[in-house]
Amino acid sequence: MSFLFAKGKVKTPQELVAALYEWTTSIDDLAQAERKPTEEIAELLQQAKRIAHGELNGEADPDLMAALAKEMYANDLIIHLIHILDRLDFEARRDVASLFSFLLRRTPTVEYLLSRPQVFDALIESAGSPEVYRNVGSMLRDCAKHPELTRNIMAKPSFWYFFDYCRDLPFEVGSDCFTTLAEFLRCSPELSAEFLAVNGKEFSHNMNTLMLSDNYVTKRQALKLMGQLIRERANQPFMVQYIEDLSNLKLVMRLLRDRSKNIHMETFQLFKVFVANPRKPAVIFDVLAKNKQRLLEVLSNLGADRKDDKQFNDERLFVMRRIKSLPDVDNSKPPASKWSAQPSPESSPPRSPARSRSPEYMPPSGPPSPSRAQIPAAMQLGHAAPVLNSQLPQLGPPEHRV
């Protein structure tokens, strides 16, 4: 092992990777060596980083960079480095993340990683570690820039660990994990739609638990992400599934009573989609009608400090008009909770035999669906609003779109 300690000699990529491989795979056996293994690994990583970033001779050397990447592939070095990441010092961890980013900028790396799925499992399992979460989170977010890697990672059972991390770990760790989770869901609308088409119900359940978090930041981030996802055009099937589920409406109505005004505003972005749906299932219609007056009271006070926000106020007034159009219900026995979560027979519109089996029902006697001119511009389809999150996907056939 004495050659590893030679000073003044610049090692070739082959020598560097060979030395790193030996140290990382024998870190416990070499604990009594002349130098601490972590110190030697840190020095070798510094040399490898200088090659990767073209700092060895003051300029980039494509041949050296290619040779370094080739040796790292051949020795599965990145896997071994991830396994010992929590034993390295702060700078060495940063160097590992830097080398990982260097590899991802090279075309063969995506194919290499797809053939080594254990890399993703190791990264996800380490994402919740208080010692290395920042480095691992950065590495995973680099993966999210590549569609093939994104699809592979999101298909893994371990991908669901992120929800546990967000719920159960200290705030700093959980917040970084949520950033990574959101990055995977936002980076590609097409891949996000694929994921939600298969996992929509499980995803909604997990997101709902985050939206009920005692942590204000987690709650607000989860609401914001869900609002963005259900209003993304590619996610229309997921959006329909979400707004037709009574438990989701009950949760959203509960959050409209949160103590935080900011939570109210984020919740409104979800609530307006339930109300704007012109083909509400009967149970959704009934609960909205039963809580008509309470909802109008909440909405009338919503955003009192945003009187100059024309887009928001247009949307708020539109939602209030839709709720006012619901039939009045005589709640002779006030419920124990602020909201009446159970459908009421009195609030249900009359049903013809032909429609009684349909899960989607709109009262034929109610006011007609608003024309496009009556809908706030930012909620119309195809409107180039500056805030794209306010756009709603199409619901139902053309005559029922909002």
pLDDT score recorded for residue 218: 96
pLDDT score recorded for residue 349: 38
- Summarised one tens digit per residue, pLDDT across range 125-162 is 999 999 999 999 999 999 999 999 999 999 999 999 99
Q: Flag whether 125 is in a domain.
A: no
Domain boundary among 85, 106, 127: 106
What's the whole-number average pLDDT of the chain?
Answer: 83
Number of independent structural domains in the chain: 2
pLDDT tops 80 at residue 264: yes
Element (H, E) at 162: helix 161-168
Q: Cβ contacts of residue 383 below 8 Å, gap of 6+?
A: 377, 391
Confidence of residue 35 (pLDDT cuts 50, 70, 90): low
Domain boundary among 43, 72, 106: 106
Q: Flag whether 232 is in a domain.
A: no
- Summarised one tens digit per residue, pLDDT across range 368-392 is 445 444 555 445 433 333 233 333 4
Distance in Å from the first CA to the final CA of the chain: 72
The residue ranking higher by pLDDT, 308 or 1, is 308
Which DSSP state fits 332?
S
pLDDT tops 70 at residue 30: no
**For 234, how many CA atoms within 13 A lie in the half-sphere containing its CB?**
15
pLDDT tops 80 at residue 394: no
Give the pTM.
Answer: 0.80
- Summarised one tens digit per residue, pLDDT across range 311-342 is 999 999 999 999 999 998 876 555 545 555 55
Which DSSP state fits 368?
P
The residue ranking higher by pLDDT, 24 or 347, is 24
- Which range marks the domain in which residue 1 is found? 1-106
pLDDT tops 70 at residue 185: yes
Distance between CA atoms of residues 331 and 321, nearest Å: 21
Distance between CA atoms of residues 62 and 160, nearest Å: 39
Q: Flag whether 273 is in a domain.
A: yes
| Percent of residues, the chain, with pLDDT higher than 70 | 77
The token duo for 35 is 């130098």
Domain boundary among 106, 123, 140: 106
Q: Flag whether 207 is in a domain.
A: no
Distance between CA atoms of residues 59 and 162, nearest Å: 40
Q: Flag whether 231 is in a domain.
A: no
pLDDT tops 80 at residue 58: no
Q: Flag whether 254 is in a domain.
A: yes
pLDDT score recorded for residue 27: 82
Q: Flag whether 181 is in a domain.
A: no
Question: Tokens 């839709």 — which residue?
Answer: 322
Q: Flag whether 179 is in a domain.
A: no
Which DSSP state fits 338?
S
CATH of the domain at 396: 1.25.10.10
Coil vs helix vs strand at 330: coil
Alpha helices in 189-281 (DSSP H): 189-211, 216-230, 236-243, 246-255, 261-276
